[in-house]
Structures are given as structure tokens and as C-alpha cells.
């Protein structure tokens, strides 16, 4: 696999990992050699996002960030609640009404974002 194709990978391939590859057959006639030039690699079985999650979790565990000494007690009632959604959608009003009933003292922060369409993933 060439470096330019390897740089686009979103996970770290490991020995023994099952993958699905996409590429092209290249023929080198003088030596009668066939090469499979890999252009894309995707993990087979478990999803790519899950593999990235496990690799991140392993790295953070090695750094000691999941040690008990870093854990904090959750407050009984939230002081601040953040909502990331469209400011014009009916869902926002439903969420705000329920939060005001359940946690009247909590500050509600609304972060406006696109939740539908092509640009939603980038905006979120």
C-alpha cells in the first residue's frame, strides 16, 4: 500500500486483522509480475468507528486517564445542561419544557446547529 493511500486510513491496521481492500491490478510485463495496488482498506466484521474507539480507549488507558484517582462524583442535580440542536425545530421546545419541569434550577445552554441535510455532520 502506497503512503498516499495509507495516510487516509481512519484506523490503525494490526497484524492478524481481517480487512476488505479495494485496488487495481498492475501488470509489469518485463518480469511477468502481477501486483495488487491497494487504494482503500476497511476493517471487516467490526465497524471502523468501533475499532477507532477501541484504539483510543487503549491509548487513554495506557496514559492512565481511566484510573480511579481521576474519577469525580456526579452531582445529584445538574447545574448546566447543554442542548445541541436546530433552534427552529419543535424538538428543542419539547426538550426545554421537560428540563424546566425536572430541573428548574439548571441553566439551559442551546448550541444552534444543523441536524438535517448534507452539512449536518460537519456542523455538529
88-120 pLDDT, tens digit each: 888 899 999 999 999 999 999 999 998 888 888
Domain boundaries, the chain: 3-62, 80-123
46/52 Cα distance (integer angstroms) = 10
The pLDDT tens digits for 13-52 are 778 778 888 889 999 888 889 998 888 887 777 677 787 8
User: Looking at the DSSP assignment, which residues form a beta bridge with residue 85?
Assistant: 112
**Do 33 and 19 meet the contact criterion of CB atoms below 8 Å apart?**
no
0.75 exceeded by pTM: no
124/117 Cα distance (integer angstroms) = 11
Question: What is the β-pairing status of strands 33-43 and 19-28?
Answer: antiparallel
Query: Count of residues for the chain?
Result: 124
Which residue shows C-alpha cell 430541573?
103
The pLDDT tens digits for 50-92 are 878 888 999 999 999 999 888 888 888 999 999 999 988 888 9
Amino acid at each position: 500500500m502506497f503512503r498516499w493511500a495509507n495516510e487516509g486510513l481512519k484506523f490503525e491496521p494490526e497484524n492478524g486483522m481481517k480487512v476488505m481492500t479495494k485496488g487495481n491490478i498492475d501488470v509489469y510485463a518485463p518480469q511477468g509480475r502481477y501486483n495488487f495496488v491497494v487504494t482503500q482498506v476497511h476493517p471487516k466484521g467490526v465497524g471502523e468507528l468501533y475499532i477507532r474507539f477501541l484504539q483510543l480507549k487503549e491509548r487513554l488507558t495506557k496514559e492512565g486517564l481511566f484510573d480511579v484517582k481521576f474519577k469525580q462524583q456526579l452531582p445529584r442535580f445538574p447545574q448546566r445542561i447543554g442542548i445541541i440542536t436546530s433552534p427552529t425545530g419543535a424538538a428543542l421546545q419539547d426538550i426545554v419544557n421537560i428540563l424546566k419541569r425536572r430541573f428548574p434550577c439548571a441553566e439551559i445552554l442551546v448550541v444552534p446547529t444543523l441536524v438535517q441535510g448534507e452539512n449536518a455532520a460537519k456542523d455538529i
